[in-house]
Amino acid sequence: MTLPYNPDNFKQYQPVIEAYVKARDQAMQKFDPEFYAACIEKLPSQHELDTQPINATEFVTARYGLLSAKEAAIVNDFPLPELLSKQLSGQLTAVQIARAFIKSAIIAQLATNCVMEFLFPEALEKAASLDAYLQQHGTLRGPLHGIPVSLKEHMCMKGHVTHASYVSLLGNVTENTCVTIQMLADMGAVFHVRTSQPQAIMHLDTDNNIIGRTRNPCSTMLSPGGSSGGESAMIAMHGSVLGIGSDIGGSIRAPAAFANIYGLRPTSKRFSGMNAISGGKGQESVPATMGPLARSLDELDALMNYYVNESKPWLYDPTCIPLPWDTKPELPAKIRIGVLFSDHLVTPFPAVTNAMKHVTEKLAQLPEFEVVDLDPYWLSEEEMTQAIDTVCTLYICDGNRQQQELIHKSGEPLLALTEFFFNPYGGNDALSVYENRKLNLVRDNMRLQVFQRVFPHCDFILSPTYFAPSEQPHESFYWGYTSFWNLTDYPNVVFPTPYGHHVERDATIPTLRDNRYEKVAWNGPTGGQLRYDSSKYEGGPVALQLTGPRFRDETVVAAAKKITAAIGIDRR
């Protein structure tokens, strides 16, 4: 069923959009007018940022001149444990930390357009109360005392507008707070910013009709990924210590990969998503999950420990499983890394294949790893086609009814990737209960095939996160390297590599497969000429994905630590 859609309705929302964006921008100016003016004067123009491969992470260094040496040290040099210890010792206060990260968040916004709403007054008030608590009691309020945490905007906050990038919800002041936000607040976290997500929250890119496109900090002409692209940009710009995103098709992992940081998609039901807005509520065939993005695996691991073991999400959300986070996971003496260069459906771009080869060769030289080629054991092209057909169909099992209810009401223009999502590969009819159940059986069989055919040969699976390095804006057409794992619900960690796209080296096009997913990935949805132009990916990093058995998320993190140590990757 297609709901009425009248683009003329959008006109009445224009003043609302303008007021919303104006309030965000005024928050930056009001915080520190002199600092804001310096940023406007010194940073590149919006046109330059959109059209050139600018590394925006340079803007938060002391040498760039916007942050003082002390502020730059706070946002760049001190990991989570050190920020806590420096508060305990009196070397830093929560207010000093908050002010430094507010400044870097302002720089992040001006460079990448990643912010929906700033929370500066609340952040400073919370930080001051934490300082008072520490002074009075001589101890920290909780394990995240004074730690700036950024939040994907679709997570509800009581008393704040939460719209999830749906223009029709710009007046939606929510009465409840997302369970995860409340848990983090109780642990002492300071929330200073809510970040952007794309229209429909179902793109591996971040663009919407409220604030527009978010840029990639590593190369501003590229995409930051999606749908948690505002989070990946904020973390990569050192605008917060930790970020919370969500993932139903790659929405934590693709942004983490594109922005060259770390991300975890936990096994479902280990991290609460209660009280968040979604266009897919009630769809249970492909579970969504929230999870963290961070600049290091140690910080990601620490957050999961605090979140699961100390805060216990099952006490607040009955859908969460009461499974503790193992802080001392055991790994085999010789870790078998199963390597999947291709999913047998879409051929990766040269930069991704090169990164996979370099990492694999490095691991093969070390005695603690055994590298296993998974090509003989992996699903066939026909099986992978069925798997990706299934996940794409299950996303829109209601024929897009809920998405249309949220989008059509305002008449907001449908962005190209929204139209692509609504009509993937030519079909968007609502499923009958029988049809949905049949696809659930396909899903369950795919999960079983991985368990029976693949994991007997390896402990973990190393694969691309995405078939390209950081993608061009509006061109993220194939999700299979991430969405397959949403369908089967195996946990993943994304981690950076030392390797990125090289314009000359990665110009050669490999031999391609002859299937519709390959054509969409390499040619675009119209199936025209090859869209690959090596020069358009300049500055794009390549991050890889590690997958492990279900509910053994801790071991995946632990194994990823071993791999990143082996390839010389540390905190970003």
Q: How far apart are CA 23 and CA 15, in angstroms?
A: 12
Answer whether residue 424 shows pLDDT above 80: no
250 phi, psi to nearest 5 deg: 130, 15
* Residue 385's pLDDT band (cuts 50, 70, 90): very high
Cα torsion angle, 289, 293, 297, 300, sign: negative
**For the segment 123-145, what is each residue's pLDDT rounded down to a tens digit?**
999 999 999 999 999 999 999 99
pLDDT at 427: 64
- Mean of per-residue pLDDT scores for the chain: 97
> Average pLDDT of 191-213?
98
Tell me the DSSP string of 15-81: HHHHHHHHHHHHHHHHH-HHHHHHHHHHSPPHHHHHHS---GGGGGSGGGSSS-HHHHHHHHT--HH
**For the segment 81-136, what is each residue's pLDDT rounded down to a tens digit?**
999 999 999 999 999 999 999 999 999 999 999 999 999 999 999 999 999 999 99
Query: What is the value of pTM for the model shown?
Result: 0.98
User: Token pair of 98, please?
Assistant: 């908050």
Q: Are the beta carbons of 294 and 255 closer than 8 angstroms? A: no
Tell me the DSSP string of 438-490: HHHHHHHHHHHHIIIIIGGG-SEEEEESSSSSSPPTT-----HHHHHHHHHT-
Q: How far apart are CA 329 and CA 332, in angstroms?
A: 10
pLDDT at 1: 47
- Single out the residue of 186, 209, 183 nearest to residue 18, CA to CA: 209
Amino acid identity for residue 522 in this structure: W
Label residues 482-510 b or e (16+ Cβ within 10 Å = b): bbbbbbbbbbbbbbbbebbbbbeebeeee
pLDDT at 528: 86
Answer whether residue 2 shows pLDDT above 70: no
> Average pLDDT of 195-213?
98
Given strand 460-464, what is the order of strands in its sheet?
115-118, 190-195, 148-152, 242-247, 289-294, 262-265, 492-500, 541-547, 460-464, 335-339, 369-373
> Average pLDDT of 523-548?
96
pLDDT at 130: 98
> Average pLDDT of 425-454?
93
Alpha helices in 370-432 (DSSP H): 381-395, 401-407, 416-422
**For the segment 490-530, what is each residue's pLDDT rounded down to a tens digit?**
999 999 999 999 999 999 999 999 999 999 999 999 888 99
Query: Residue 21, exposed/middle/buried by CB under 10 A (0-12, 13-18, 19+)?
Result: middle
Q: Are the beta carbons of 192 and 317 closer than 8 angstroms? A: no
pLDDT at 3: 66
pLDDT at 425: 61
> Average pLDDT of 304-328?
98
* Residue 299's pLDDT band (cuts 50, 70, 90): very high
Tell me the DSSP string of 259-307: TT-EEEEPPTTSS---SB--TTTT--SS--EEEEEESSHHHHHHHHHII
Q: Are the beta carbons of 381 and 515 closer than 8 angstroms? A: yes
Q: How far apart are CA 507 and CA 263, in angstroms?
A: 29
Please list the active-site residues: 152, 227, 251
417 phi, psi to nearest 5 deg: -75, -25
Q: Are the beta carbons of 408 and 540 closer than 8 angstroms? A: no
